[in-house]
Amino acid sequence: MSDPTKLPEAEAGHEDDYALDKEIVSEVLLALDAQNHARLAQIFDPLHPADIADLLEQVPAADRRDLILFAGPLIDGEVLSEIDESIREDVIDFLPDEQLAEAVRELESDDVVDILEDLDEPQQQAILGALDSGDRIAVKQALSYPEFSAGRLMQREVVSVPEHWNVGATIDHLRGETDLPEQFYHIILVDPRHRPVAYVTLGRLMSSARDVALADIVEDSFRLFRVDEDEGDVAYAFNQYHLISAPVVDEDGRLVGAITIDDAMVVLDEEHEEDVFRLAGVGDESLATSTLQIVRRRFPWLGVNLLTSIIASMVIALFEDVLSAVVALAVLMPIVASMGGNAATQSMTVAVRALATRDLTSSNALRVIRRESVAGLMNGAIFAVVMGVVGYVWFGVPMIGVVIAVAMVVNLLVAGLSGVLVPITLDKAGIDPALASGTFVTTVTDVVGFFAFLGLASLVLL
């Protein structure tokens, strides 16, 4: 993929085009073993910094330190900012001070902030010390905004002109300016108090006559964000309104920076990962997380699950009589729990996603709850018939079929209901529904399912 005129397809030819292939990793390790610096540089040269970062993540932890020490100058600022947080600290620890300083000096201030915010105090100081004073002030200013805020996400470099200017004046200004940002897509129009009021795309500017007023060619899509706004809300707005860039203002409404869509895309991706992981009871981890750390991070979720499953077991313990009298119940019991858990996960996932995309609101919540209840009842009825027959045929006792059929209806109804009610309630209470819904919902379906199944069995079969 080094030669941009060459099609990626032509080299690899199937769906894994963008995965680093095993060969590259082995070749890097070979070059490291042979202490062949030229070969290593040759392998790294055509790679994008994001791919070099991936490579460092893929190398076994034992070799990573050697590789970093040996590859040193090949690991520049861009690689540092691409690398996964879980190993970034190590990489920074292993990098000699002067190389680290050189690496961060070449970065834009928002990338330095992104690196700094995850580091320990001493590492932060080392990097801040490496910056020139202007950048250091900018980075410290950015770090003063709350974590996960628009202020942390924005770049300070923006292009703004007075709102009354025309196309010709703006083009002359841009062409006279020597210090334009590396990437910019809009010219921001500001009022005399430096508050952004509109923007013009570069493309529109290029294609308009010199005497046209900027005010006449502004874009409808203009939206602005406050420095303290949550980055998740920013990412949502970029996605919802197809923004490319947007100005950021301070408490007084004055222009302090701009956020571009590529940064919003990264946030969107991180928020998704967080949601998927939280739904599954996984904390912040990646493949580079060490074994001990994943044990420690997954432990609390498993602990909570142990507590809730003990609660479910206590419900079962209430019915020891009927269980010892009719052992078929113990055989069928996990089916009730499993079907309830699955149906609940289905409606819960849809609800959690709809809350995240702001599609589930107070205006349609009642309708969604009703829909899930009816759907739960209907699938419950279908599976009641199926399991009723299976239970009867398997154990030859009609009443066992009846009991599991009724339990199935009750359980799938409760699954549908709790799958949507629990996330909505958590969201109203200000708790991330992705984080806690699963535990609550499966506890409810387990308890209700076992109670319905074994309770009814006690009434009918004892």
425 contributes a contact to its own copies by CB under 8 A: no
> Does residue 19 touch its own copies according to CB under 8 A?
yes
Give the number of other Cβ atoms within 10 Å of residue 391's Cβ: 26
The owner of tokens 């890097």 is: 28
Residue (144 or 324) nearer to its own copies, CB: 324
CB of 112 to its own copies, least distance (A): 16
CB 244 within 8 A of CB 260: yes
Q: Judged by CB under 8 A, which stretch of 33-41, 87-95, 115-123, 227-235 contacts its own copies?
A: 227-235
Q: Does 106 bind its own copies (CB under 8 A)?
A: no
Q: In this structure, are strands 186-190 and 196-201 parallel, antiparallel, or unpaired? A: antiparallel
* CB 191, min distance to its own copies, A: 8
Give me the least distance between CB of 133 and its own copies, in Å please: 26
Please pick, from the candidates 41, 216, 313, 396, the single residue that binds its own copies as defined by CB under 8 A.
313
Smallest separation, CB 299 to its own copies (Å)? 6
Indicate which single residue of 287, 389, 431, 462 sits in contact with its own copies (rule: CB under 8 A): 287
The whole-angstrom separation of Cα 149 and Cα 134 is 22
Residue 72 backbone zone (phi > 0: left; psi -120 to 50: alpha; other: beta) = left
How far is it, in rounded angstroms, from Cα 287 to Cα 290? 8
Euclidean distance between CA atoms 210 and 202, whole angstroms:
13
Is residue 136 near its own copies by the rule CB under 8 A?
A: no
222 binds its own copies (CB under 8 A): yes
The binder of its own copies chosen from 15, 121, 132, 211 (CB under 8 A): 15
Of 162 and 181, the one with the shorter C-beta distance to its own copies is 181
Shortest reach from residue 334's CB to its own copies, in Å: 6
Pick from 132, 363, 393, 429 the residue near its own copies by CB under 8 A: 363
What minimum distance in Å lies between the beta carbon of 328 and its own copies? Answer: 8
Stretch that binds its own copies, among 65-73, 120-128, 136-144, 364-372 (CB under 8 A): 364-372
CB contact at 8 A, 356 and 424: no
CB 112 within 8 Å of CB 134? no
Binding segment for its own copies among 30-38, 64-72, 116-124, 357-365 (CB under 8 A)? 357-365
Q: Which of residues 426-445 bind its own copies (CB under 8 A)?
A: 442
Q: How far is the CB of 278 from its own copies (least distance, A)?
A: 10
- Side-chain half-sphere exposure of 172, counting CA atoms within 13 A: 8
* Nearer CB in complex with its own copies: 94/277: 277
How big is the site for its own copies, counted in residues (CB under 8 A)? 141
Q: What angle do CA 393, 399, 405 make, to 5 degrees?
A: 80
Stretch binding its own copies (CB under 8 A), from 31-39, 99-107, 125-133, 269-277: 269-277
Segment interacting with its own copies, rule: CB under 8 A, options 35-43, 68-76, 90-98, 307-315:
307-315
Radius of gyration for the chain, computed over Cα atoms and rounded to the nearest angstrom? 29
Q: Measured in Å, how far apart are the chain's first and last C-alpha atoms?
A: 72
Within 153-212, the residues that bind its own copies by CB under 8 A are 171, 174-175, 177-178, 180-185, 195, 197-198, 201-203, 206-207
The interface region with its own copies, picked from 68-76, 96-104, 117-125, 334-342 by CB under 8 A, is 334-342
Contact pick of 213, 216, 272, 462 for its own copies (by CB under 8 A): 272
